């Protein structure tokens, strides 16, 4: 009867405290040690039996009586089935002593998110005493961006009145992505030199000394937070860079192949990892097996401006990161792979041209219409002329050769442009075209005249070099 009287007193005291005083005793639950960062990718690929053991401590805010119950509740995480929260004994069937011998908790039951204990012994005041638990967290239950939390609550043995509930939940850590965006150190920023017939850059920026000619170097760092708990193991990292890399097409084949990367005048070489290129010369793929700083040199194997093989460097153009993919497995295991898409923090860069670029916004094609396009070269340097056409349907077409303009002369480009349009859009094309005409001569010494003739009537077209 004395024990029951104590139970009744505990229930009445709790009820009076709740109803009259307006104050609820509050336990304090904290993580033992510093918070931890969990690798989301590593834990998603962890084995089903993989466990993270989190140590937590609860400082009791009230006295407890026999048969009072306590519950540890998880949020954004789950307990691993079949493992004790107490001392490593299977099936949670351990006991926990709070303080030196103030109170003993015996295991009652558990679910995926709650572990329940009952007071089975108390010999002195429990207030202010500490209960320590080791919580077996199932790694695969951790969710990206959600912090795993644990709280403490208690109920009286009679009437199940709540008391001593923790006001603040303990944060066990944070779940973050292991693979950050790659960071560009130096973007591509070279100027293609018309004085070198567009076979070289105006200067050499080969910081890593990868090529023997002139080159522009892209540097970036692949970021991997390998110190995170449960960090994934990297299988490979694949970065795809988009651009016009046809300047390495050294052997005259239709398109780029592996031997073109370093086999001729134009070349691309990486400081680490491996490079491949697609046949269209439009996608450069870099593959590494670990995260690190990377340098990729784009340029030439010699300083020649009259190479026996190779092609001109296309400019102006902007480069892009088509994709960046981390392929990974669980911590120390590549048995089951996952992929994580990322990005570069910064632009990959662009190449400019120190030659003449003339933009003609409108030129009609059709029956009874002819074009009149001339370029004036006031410099002492002759240069080849190429163009890019854009039709009224938005289809771009490269015209590799429009003609050549000699030093101190005027060249008619009309026939070369018309031949390119016919090859691109058909001999009977009827519509409107815009041109971007590039000449390998100094821009300050070039001027373009553009017009068209309709049934004997000439109509001048303003372009960016004569619209002054």
Neighbour tally for 233: CB within 10 Å: 16
In this predicted model, what pLDDT tens digit does every residue of 288-312 receive, in sequence order? 999 999 999 999 999 998 888 878 8
Give the strands of the sheet with 396-405, arranged side by side: 355-365, 431-442, 383-391, 396-405
Q: Is the bond leading into 316 cis (omega within 30 degrees of zero)? A: yes
- All CATH 2.60.290.11 domain ranges in the chain, comma separated: 355-460
Q: Which of 342, 322, 50, 308 is nearest to 179 (CA)?
A: 342
Please provide the distance, in angstroms rounded to a whole number, between the alpha carbons at the two ends of the chain. Answer: 108
The two three-digit tokens of residue 176, written as one number: 């973050």
Look up the CATH number of domain 355-460: 2.60.290.11
402 pLDDT above the threshold of 70: yes
The values of phi and psi at residue 68, to 5°, are -60, 150
Q: Angle 334-337-341 (CA atoms, 0-180°, nearest 5)?
A: 130
CATH of 23-176, one of 1.10.3470, 3.30.360, 3.40.50, 2.60.40: 2.60.40
In this predicted model, what pLDDT tens digit does every residue of 354-368 receive, in sequence order? 889 999 999 999 999
- Split at pLDDT 50, 70, 90, the class of 263 is confident
In this predicted model, what pLDDT tens digit does every residue of 149-174 receive, in sequence order? 999 999 999 899 999 999 999 999 99
pLDDT value of position 11 = 43
* Cα–Cα distance, 417 to 437 (Å, whole number): 9
pTM: 0.75
- All CATH 2.60.40 domain ranges in the chain, comma separated: 23-176
Cα dist from 441 to 129, 291, 358, 434, whole Å:
86, 43, 12, 21
* Cα–Cα distance, 405 to 378 (Å, whole number): 10
Question: For 80-90, what is the mean pLDDT?
Answer: 56
* Cα–Cα distance, 121 to 97 (Å, whole number): 9
């Amino acid at each position: 009867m004395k024990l029951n009287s104590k139970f009744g007193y505990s229930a009445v005291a709790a009820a009076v405290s709740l109803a009259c005083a307006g104050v609820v005793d509050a336990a304090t639950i904290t993580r033992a040690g510093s918070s931890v960062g969990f690798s989301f990718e590593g834990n998603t690929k962890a084995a089903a039996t993989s466990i993270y053991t989190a140590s937590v401590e609860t400082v009791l805010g009230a006295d407890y009586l026999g048969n009072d119950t306590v519950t540890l509740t998880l949020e954004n995480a789950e307990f691993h089935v079949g493992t004790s929260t107490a001392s490593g004994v299977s099936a949670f069937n351990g006991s926990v002593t709070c303080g030196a011998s103030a109170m003993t908790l015996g295991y009652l039951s558990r679910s995926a998110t709650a572990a329940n204990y009952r007071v089975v012994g108390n010999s002195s005041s429990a207030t202010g005493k500490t209960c320590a638990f080791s919580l077996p967290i199932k790694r695969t239950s951790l969710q990206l961006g959600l912090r795993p939390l644990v709280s403490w609550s208690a109920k009286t043995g009679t009437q199940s009145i709540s008391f001593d509930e923790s006001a603040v939940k303990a944060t066990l850590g944070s779940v973050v992505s292991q693979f950050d965006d790659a960071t560009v150190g130096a973007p591509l920023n070279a100027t293609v030199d018309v004085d070198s017939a567009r076979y070289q850059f105006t200067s050499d920026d080969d910081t890593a000394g990868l090529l023997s000619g002139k080159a522009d170097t892209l540097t970036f760092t692949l970021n991997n937070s390998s110190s995170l708990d449960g960090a994934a193991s990297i299988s490979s990292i694949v970065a795809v860079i988009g651009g016009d890399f046809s300047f390495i097409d050294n052997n005259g084949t239709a398109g780029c192949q592996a031997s073109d990367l370093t086999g001729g005048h134009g070349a691309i070489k990486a400081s680490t990892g491996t490079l491949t290129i697609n046949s269209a010369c439009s996608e450069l793929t870099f593959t590494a097996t670990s995260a690190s700083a990377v340098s990729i040199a784009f340029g030439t194997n010699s300083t020649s401006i009259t190479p026996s093989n190779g092609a001109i460097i296309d400019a102006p153009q902007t480069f892009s990161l088509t994709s960046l993919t981390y392929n990974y497995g669980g911590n120390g295991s590549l048995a089951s792979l996952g992929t994580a898409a990322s990005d570069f923090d910064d632009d990959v860069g662009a190449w400019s041209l120190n030659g003449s670029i003339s933009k003609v916004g409108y030129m009609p094609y059709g029956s009874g219409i002819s074009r009149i396009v001339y370029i004036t070269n006031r410099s002492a340097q002759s240069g080849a002329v190429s163009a890019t056409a854009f039709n009224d349907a938005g289809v771009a077409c490269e015209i590799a050769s429009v003609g050549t303009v000699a030093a101190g002369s005027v060249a008619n480009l009309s026939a070369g442009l018309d031949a390119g349009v016919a090859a691109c859009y058909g001999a009977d094309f009827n519509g409107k075209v815009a041109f971007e005409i590039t000449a390998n001569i100094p821009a300050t010494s070039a001027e373009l005249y553009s017009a068209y003739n309709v049934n004997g009537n000439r109509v001048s077209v303003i372009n960016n070099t004569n619209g002054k």
